[in-house]
Amino acid sequence: MEDIKGTVCVTGGTGYVASWLIMRLLQHGYSVRATIRSKPSEGKRDISYLTNLPGAQERLQIFHADLNHPETFNDAIQGCTGVFHLAHPMDVKGKEPEETVTKRAVEGALGILKACLNCKTVKRVVYTSSLATILYNSKGLEETDENTWSEVDVCRSNKLVSSSYSVSKSLVERTALEFAETNGLDLVTVVLPIVFGPFVGPNVPASVCIGLAPIFGDQEQYKFLISTYMVHIDDVASAHIFLLEHPNAKGRYICSSIQTTIHELYDFLSARYPHLQISIPDHLKDIKGYKGTNVSSIKLLNTGFKFKCGLSEMFDGAIQCCKEKGFL
């Protein structure tokens, strides 16, 4: 793909990853069309954190689009050279039926991909996926990579994340890859673990709340950290742009830089932030030495991409952001 700083579309523009990606795209010289779900007149949504980004006044346009009505993405995509599809129903707790979420996500994604195909200007689509599409399988693998897929039955029996989320993400990614292959559309997917670090928006993103559970003392979130995979938000944005621009990128790419356990995190946080009160629930103190399958990002690394941030940068950035915005 030619390295041209043209116009790109980012769906789900108010999300954690999307908002940081928009910031970085503007810094890289791209013109950005961001889609958001709710109209300001209906929800009076404050998106000044996007419109006030450096370069936004000249090169950021906001479009209103909804996955329930895929045709609403057409105007934002028309004329773009690249599309980042990040919009997805975030139903991690299973508040909606799996079928409802999956239908909305799949039909929305297909509508967006058809718009990319029909407009004739889109050179590549980058779809943002999740490790939920890989981890929930019955194979008992020591190492998982892009060839591994979650199984629907395992997703439905898993108590950690609702099947509304894990099944819908898996089906959307599979559907997107199959559609692209069948129709000759250039598409790559970025498979993400817990994304962590600083944030652009006014509220603490859900994944940052998970990572900061030992500091916030959030009992509900500890379960996600027993054995976990993480990546810095800036590495995520860099990987998205890298894969948009890389001439030979193809298929799925796992983008995960850190694998750790809750005990390792507790030791790290206690040593690095002795002034903060770090906690771990009693019922988790006996779970020692447990690590899940090794998740390999070697395919991404072999393209020439390099992770720049570790745990220190992740937590320093997240904690500093939380302090600046009054959450700590």
Yes or no: say if 309 and 235 are a contact pair by the CB < 8 Å rule: yes
Sorted by sequence, the CB contacts under 8 Å of residue 210 that are 6+ apart come out as 194, 221, 224, 225
d(CA 164, CA 89): 9
Beta-bridge partners for 195: 231
H helix and E strand count, the chain? 14, 12
* 308 is annotated as an active-site residue: no
CA-wise closest residue to 164 among 103, 228, 222, 230 = 103
Yes or no: say if 23 and 201 are a contact pair by the CB < 8 Å rule: no
Altogether, the residues listed in the chain come to a count of 328
- Phi, psi at 141, each rounded to 5°: -75, 140
DSSP annotation of 144 reads E
Yes or no: say if 213 and 228 are a contact pair by the CB < 8 Å rule: no
- Phi, psi at 307, each rounded to 5°: -75, 135
- Phi, psi at 262, each rounded to 5°: -65, -30
Helix%, strand%, coil% for the chain, nearest 5: 45, 15, 40
Between strands 227-232 and 251-254, the pairing is unpaired
Which of 114, 123, 139, 169 does the annotation list as catalytic? 169
Sorted by sequence, the CB contacts under 8 Å of residue 58 that are 6+ apart come out as none
- Three-state DSSP at 261 gives strand
Taking the mean position of all CA atoms in its chain, how far away is CA 141?
A: 24
Catalytic residues: 169
